[in-house]
Amino acid sequence: MKTKFVRPNWDKYFMEIAHVVKTRSNCSARQVGAIIVKDRRIIATGYNGTPMGIKNCFEEGCERCSKRMSGKIKPGEDIDKCICLHAEQNALLQSAYHGISTKDTTIYTTDTPCNQCAKMIINSGVKKIISENKYPDDLGLSLLKQAGISLSYLKRKS
């Protein structure tokens, strides 16, 4: 009897990798993963957390996240006081750090980009975003739409 061989399509493949990447997140509040792909090749990965050399968020490196996790502030409150980088930011910065262009690339991210990440994605030349979950930031999504960046959602099987 012949066994049926099943391979994921490219979008599912890259999204699963983004989920593995998010396991490296050191943010105590939210784990997000992102990968940048060009010509079906991964050029950079990123997850959310504190900058290099800074105490990990889960080790109380970010005072804002510590307050959120202890219930002293609500989700979305005091965002400007968070020192953590977002997954998309880290992926874009890794590309820059290693001198790799992000022009005409696709970002696979487990959550849609916020306003700040959307602006960086627009100016970095990314042409397409594939995401699973909608992050509650309509301004970011509006900016992406105005800039003509394609955004599509991929459902993940549990």
Measured distance CA(85)–CA(152) in Å, rounded: 23
Measured distance CA(98)–CA(64) in Å, rounded: 30
Beta bridge partners of 109: 34, 131
Active site residue 132: no
Identify the sign of the CA torsion 130, 124, 47, 139.
negative
Angle at 145 between CA 142 and CA 146, to 5 degrees: 85
| Other CB atoms within 10 Å distance of the CB of residue 101 | 12
What are the residues whose beta carbons fall under 8 Å from the beta carbon of 16, sequence distance 6 or more? 8
Catalytic residue among 59, 63, 77, 88: 88
3-state secondary structure (DSSP) of residue 13: helix
Which residues are the active-site residues?
88
